[in-house]
Every structure is written in structure tokens, then in C-alpha cells.
Amino acid sequence: MERNIIIDQSVAILVDGNNIEISIHTVTENEAAMVNFDTLVPRLLDNRALNRLIYFREGKHISSKLAERLHNMFHGSVVPCHKSADIPLTIKASQLATKVDTIVIMSGDSDYVELVRHLKAEGVRVEIAAVEQTTAAILKDEADYFHPLTDEDWFIYSGKGAKQSKKKSRSRR
């Protein structure tokens, strides 16, 4: 996979929230682990311009603090999905294909393989950002670039109401 990026690229980051959350919870063995968008987004952009950041999540309960933070920091939005994020994320990616140079899909789900192929055929650079241990090999192979998420890309939320797993969070260093 080549890293060749052009600084003046316009980038959309589309997040399959449930997939990323489950992956991080699996690796850390802690349900209070959360993506640290403050450090992750600048790393994914690598000095490129952010066009959109959209966080898709199944279910009615979506943290208003997350939505507010994504909006305030990145002019991002949160989209609640009736079932899984696969179809809404795919539709949005297809709509954005003519408006951006690069789409970063934050998910390791092999359901996105055909989307990656389609976007690349449309001339869009496609990057995947996900936890390597839970990412389908075929998805990594199809992407133009793979950004592995590591323990530097998440934190353990310890605020009021945080669900703590009985197992301790492991550091992968």
C-alpha cells in the first residue's frame, strides 16, 4: 500500500461507530474505551483538508457530548442509524465521491469491500482506519492505505456512568 498523499487533497472521514467501538472494546477488554478523535483525526488527515467527518451509529442512544465535541472540533456530525451503519455510510460515501479526493472509512468490516472497489473505480483514494486485529484482511488489501488504530488512538473514559469491564485494560506496547 502506497502512502503517496497530496497535501491539497480534500478528505471525508466516515466512521462506522459501532464497528470501531466494538473493536476497541474487544482489544482493550474494557467497554469504557473510546476513540480519541482529538489526536486521531489530525493523524488521519496528515495535513490534508477535512471536508466532512460523519459518525454513523446504530441505536437511539448517541452521546450528546460526542456529537457536540465532533461538531465543535471538526464541524462533524453524528448520524443515528436504524440498523447497522453499513448502508447509510455506503450511500453517503457514494454521494461524496465526486466532492472529495480521499475517503477514510473507519471500520474493519469486510462488508465495505465492494464500496472500496466502487469508490476506487470512481477515482477516489480510499483509506481504512481500524483496529488491525479486528480488520478483515481483504478490506486492508483493497484499500489504498491502511491506518492501524493503536492504544494511542483511544482512552478509557472514567467519568460518571462509565461502564467498566471486570477485566483490566491491557496496553499493547
Domain coordinates of the chain in residue numbers?
Answer: 10-156
Tell me: pLDDT of 23 over 90. yes
Domain covering 10-156 in this structure, CATH number: 3.40.50.1010
Tell me if 134 sits within 8 A of 106, measured CB to CB.
no
**Strand residues in the chain grouped as ranges (E):** 10-16, 33-35, 49-58, 77-81, 102-106, 125-131, 145-149, 154-156
Q: Residues with Cβ < 8 Å from 91, sequence gap 6 or more?
A: none
> Is pLDDT above 80 for 33?
yes
In the predicted structure, residue 60 carries a pLDDT above the cut 80: no
The predicted-structure confidence for 95-147, as pLDDT tens digits, reads as follows 999 999 999 999 999 999 999 999 999 999 999 999 999 999 999 999 999 99
pLDDT for position 115:
98
Return mean pLDDT, the chain: 88
* Strand 145-149 with 125-131, pairing: parallel
- Quick one: pLDDT at residue 63? 81
Which grid coordinates are listed for 165?
A: 469491564
Q: What does the pLDDT read at residue 3? A: 59
How large is the angle between the packed helices 37-45 and 64-74, nearest 10 degrees? 40
With cut-offs at 50, 70 and 90, classify the pLDDT of residue 5: low
The residue assigned the cell 454513523 is: 56
pLDDT of residue 82: 84
73: left (phi over 0), alpha (psi -120 to 50) or beta: alpha
Q: Is 68 exposed, middle or buried (0-12, 13-18, 19+ CB in 10 A)?
A: exposed
Q: What is the percent of the chain with per-residue pLDDT over 90, rounded to a whole number?
A: 76
